[in-house]
Amino acid sequence: MSAASQVTSVKTNRWRRYLPLLIWMAVIFFASTGEFSAANTNLLIKPVLRWFFPHLSNEQVAAVHFFIRKCAHFTEYAILGWLVARAFIASTHGSLRRHWLADGVVFIGLYALSDEFHQSFVASRTASIYDSMIDMSGGVVALILVAFFRWRRKRKEVQSQNL
């Protein structure tokens, strides 16, 4: 393989690793705008809840809506954590590859805090350190799951080689 094609291959692989991560970061950024404020998501969630569970009181609907929103925080950052692991594990930078878990935790923490900071400038949103903690929890859980499954796969490979 020529040097020029190796460089092209590295750049292509880099885009494959980082583009999904960048797109998902943009999705999270958009979800932090007024379009996904509690008032706006209530317009979708409340009628669905009323249709499936017509007996719920207004307080119960509000509680379920709150729970769904917090689960969305956790889930969107769990996806971010998986994409961070995917990008960092295959990085061409040796240090990033070796320390992907710690670097991923730092990355997710900084992005979660910046996300809440962004929300502090959106009139229909409120910034909350608690939401940042939910976000970070989702990302860290995903990173730990990736680490666990990688460890398990390596352990099985070692066991099969020893047989």
Instruction: Give the relative orientation of helices 100-119 and 3-31 as an angle to the nearest 10 degrees.
Output: 40
User: Cα torsion at 67, 72, 73, 74 (round to 10°)?
Assistant: 90
∠ CA 88-94-100, rounded to 5°: 30
Structural domain of 144: 3-162
Query: pLDDT (tens digit, 0 to 9) for every residue of the chain, 163 residues total?
Result: 555 555 566 566 888 999 999 999 999 999 998 888 888 888 889 999 999 999 999 999 999 999 999 999 999 999 999 999 999 999 988 898 999 999 999 999 999 999 999 998 988 888 889 999 999 999 999 999 999 999 999 999 888 887 7
Q: Cα(60)–Cα(126) distance, rounded to whole angstroms?
A: 22
Total domains present in the chain: 1
Q: Cα(17)–Cα(9) distance, rounded to whole angstroms?
A: 12
